[in-house]
A and B are shown apart, each in its own frame.
Chain A
Amino acid sequence: MNLLEVRNLVKNFNGIKAVDNVSFKVPEGSIFGLIGRNGAGKTTTIRMMMNIYLPDSGEVVLGGVKVGQEFKNKVGYLPEERGLYKKMKVIETLMYFAELKGATGKEVNKKAEWYLNRFDLFDRRLSKMEDLSKGNQQKIQFITTILHDPEFVILDEPFSGLDPVNTNLLKDIILELKEQGKIIIFSTHLMDFAEKMCDHIVMIDHGKVVLEGPLSGIKQKYAQKNISLNYEGDINFLKGNPIVEKIEDFGNSTGIRLKDSNQSQQLLKLLVDNNIIVKKFDANDISLQEIFIELVGQEETNGSSVKKEVLYA
């Protein structure tokens, strides 16, 4: 069993809770998204998973065993802020980082050259890192992350600072790795990437998990709860109705959030009964971005009320 599980992680910095009782499971064979705003606690969580920070309490467990050096060797990690030795040659850099993971020898060298070929960098293998363009340095960074053939690939904000070409390249690599059966965990605040790539997400805000589950399930549930409406007439009567949680006017359309996802038919009936001309009634269209804003963005409008409810679809 290769089930990776994060159990009740807590980390304080100077009395501020950076990570507050975070738990989730990373299913096998999935691309797992750790999403949240900047400063939500994603990097701290990942650092604790990598044993770079020791948690104040809680643990990270792989197949029932607390992770340690063994796990580190199985992981390829690409941190958000990343650098390489400027004066080191490309091939030396690749071999060094593989050696730190315990991978040495001719095989690794061959593989490094294979990757360099694939990324059109073979002729630069004896160049110093500082002589490479930023885009090429990023490519070398990907290679160092996966050269030792890790079982887990953890990418912290992998798309930040990448040019469009490298963004696509990294996307391809991630999908390829998934096909090879690797478990990929990446953190991002870019919802459209998460939406396109992840099978499974956990959303963190203010150090707490606010949402966890398979992306399809989450979307389904939120889509039916959130109705996008175009109409003629006066819908003021809906205010205070027990099935409606919130009405928002977006100008072109109106968003109505229901208290429960199976109340959409009830709402439609209510509208028709009240002689509203319904031009569009869409209960199946919501982006992760909207879910994200709904869950973590509301406190900015509602002051400091932190959403405590954890949803599991």
Chain B
Amino acid sequence: MLNKRILAVIKRELREKLFSKSFIVMTLLVPGLIFLAIGVQTLLITNQQKNLKIDVISDDPGLITALRSSFMSSEIGKDGKYLLTFQTENKNDVSKYVESKRNDINDDKLGGVVYIPESALKDKKVDYYAKSSQNISLFKDFDAPINKALIDSYFADRTLSKDDMNFLRSSVDFTGFKVTKEGGIKEEGYGNMIIAYLLTFLLYFSMIMIGQMTMQSVIEEKGSKIVEVILSSVSPTELMSGKILGASITGVIQMAIWLSPIILVMSTTIFVLPKEFLFSISSTVIIYALINFFIGLLTFIGLYAMMGAIFDNAQDAASGAMPVMMLILIPFFIAMSMIDNPNRPVAVIASYFPFASILVMPMRLTLVGVQIWQLAVATLINILTFVAIFPVAGKIYRVGILRTGKKPKWSEVIKWLKYKY
């Protein structure tokens, strides 16, 4: 099936697409942004400020003792993020104390002062003095240990059991679990959901982008009459196959580059993600996604090439390509609708439906997990769709590519299928 002429066409398509400025920019921009997002997360985790000096003061010596033991037993007391000093100050001297530290705070020698007055035992109100008064990360870190110390002191003279105390101290903690059909329940963060949406969005985006590029290139060949010269050397089917294969290979290369951040995070330890963003996808998912994407590209690019051959200017083609766009857009929305219920029936049906399967099945796979045979069935359906579509698209392409003149009606296009060309 592949001969020298098709290879020549593929080579030209690859050269033309891979080295076009818009392709390079788009291809590098997407993973650039993903890397940036992951990089920022990694930076926040690994390079977070160490030994930030914080003075913890209180006008109640008992509270200071409780705070010290509470902080020392908590995680932030151990991981070295903060360097804490505990001090008792007179209620009236607090403002004087802060005043004395003014220079240290402004010279970044001191991160800040946390003042827990005795009255906090009634209203839990705590003061924070620093260069910037709003420090969400510090508030989050200090919330639990301070709360614990306050609870401990508050209930110190009352008789409560240790269990009661533990219950009081703890806050509500959500943990997400993924239930798979293979059995077993895994703990999991938002990571998979993010990956699923990213994957779907990239599939959608890349298919439309490369489809449009191919359509433009067919219109160019038709409009500038290059096609007749080419057809004196190759058959229309060879030309179309070469173009579709060239564009699809371009697409897979693009997708592999786009997915490289995910692959890198999976396979190396260069990047670290916060626990809540961790994802668990296997390399099978990535390989399936790429194969599935390749089949999808063959199908949709075939349709886009057909549209390019029917019309001879970009404007007519853009409106003519709307039905093809819908074939990508509707499944895209179905896939997106899986956010509140990945198991909604329409999504399950769509994951096996010709055309729709290409976008919906990878989403299902990453979100809820499917069995191998289900993947196989979906892939088979996609291949059959391509096999059914290709001769039709090829015929219309063959007839359309040499036609010029007025914009054909759809009824005429259907008649082309009966032409002998």
Q: Do A and B come from one complex?
A: yes
Contact with B along A87-126 (1 / 0, CB 8 A): 1100000001101111000000000000000000000000
Within 8 Å of chain A (Cβ to Cβ): is B229? yes
Chain A, interface size: which category? 20 to 34
Partner of B402 from the list A52, A73, A96 (CB cut-off 8 Å) is A52
The answer to whether B235 and A51 touch across the interface, beta carbons within 8 angstroms, is: yes
Within 8 Å of chain A (Cβ to Cβ): is B4? yes
For A141, the chain B residues whose CB sits under 8 A away are 229
The answer to whether A53 and B421 touch across the interface, beta carbons within 8 angstroms, is: yes
Closest Cβ–Cβ distance, residue A185 to chain B (whole Å): 13
The answer to whether B224 and A83 touch across the interface, beta carbons within 8 angstroms, is: yes
The answer to whether A50 and B229 touch across the interface, beta carbons within 8 angstroms, is: no
Closest Cβ–Cβ distance, residue B411 to chain A (whole Å): 13
Closest Cβ–Cβ distance, residue A79 to chain B (whole Å): 4
The answer to whether A81 and B233 touch across the interface, beta carbons within 8 angstroms, is: no
For A53, the chain B residues whose CB sits under 8 A away are 402, 421
Chain B, interface size: which category? 20 to 34
The answer to whether A96 and B228 touch across the interface, beta carbons within 8 angstroms, is: no
For A96, the chain B residues whose CB sits under 8 A away are 8, 12
Report the Cα distance A297→B102, complex, angstroms. 107
The answer to whether B233 and A54 touch across the interface, beta carbons within 8 angstroms, is: no
For A86, the chain B residues whose CB sits under 8 A away are 220, 224
The answer to whether B226 and A85 touch across the interface, beta carbons within 8 angstroms, is: yes
For A188, the chain B residues whose CB sits under 8 A away are none
* Nearest-neighbor residue (CB-CB) of B402 within chain A: A52
**Most-contacted residue by chain B among A52, A72, A87, A100 (CB, 10 A):** A100
* Nearest-neighbor residue (CB-CB) of A73 within chain B: B233
Main secondary structure of the interface of A (DSSP, over half): loop
Report the Cα distance A81→B8, complex, angstroms. 23
Within 8 Å of chain B (Cβ to Cβ): is A234? no
Q: Assess A100 versus B228: contact at CB under 8 Å? Given A53-B421, A56-B420.
A: no
Which A49-82 residues have C-beta < 8 A from chain B? 50-54, 56, 69, 72-73, 75, 77-79, 81-82
Contact with A along B214-232 (1 / 0, CB 8 A): 0000001000111011111
Report the Cα distance A69→B236, complex, angstroms. 12
Within 8 Å of chain B (Cβ to Cβ): is A84? yes
Closest Cβ–Cβ distance, residue A41 to chain B (whole Å): 15
* Nearest-neighbor residue (CB-CB) of B236 within chain A: A52
Partner of A83 from the list B9, B225, B235 (CB cut-off 8 Å) is B225
The answer to whether B12 and A144 touch across the interface, beta carbons within 8 angstroms, is: no
Within 8 Å of chain A (Cβ to Cβ): is B187? no
Contact with A along B139-169 (1 / 0, CB 8 A): 0000000000000000000000000000000
Q: Assess A100 versus B8: contact at CB under 8 Å? Given A52-B232, A54-B420.
A: yes
Report the Cα distance A82→B234, complex, angstroms. 16
The answer to whether A82 and B225 touch across the interface, beta carbons within 8 angstroms, is: yes
Report the Cα distance A78→B5, complex, angstroms. 19
Which B1-60 residues have C-beta < 8 A from chain A? 4-5, 8-9, 12, 16
Partner of A100 from the list B220, B233, B402, B421 (CB cut-off 8 Å) is B233
The answer to whether A50 and B231 touch across the interface, beta carbons within 8 angstroms, is: yes
Closest Cβ–Cβ distance, residue B229 to chain A (whole Å): 6
With A75-B232, A100-B230 given, can you name 7 additional A-B contacts, CB distance below 8 Å?
Answer: A52-B231, A52-B232, A82-B225, A83-B224, A84-B229, A100-B234, A101-B233
CB<8 Å pairs between A and B, sample of 11? A47-B402, A53-B421, A56-B420, A72-B234, A82-B225, A83-B224, A84-B229, A87-B16, A100-B8, A100-B234, A102-B5
Which B residues are closer than 8 A to A by beta carbons? Answer: 4-5, 8-9, 12, 16, 220, 224-226, 228-235, 402, 420-421
4 nearest A-B pairs in the assembled complex, by CB-CB distance: A83-B224, A77-B232, A100-B233, A81-B225
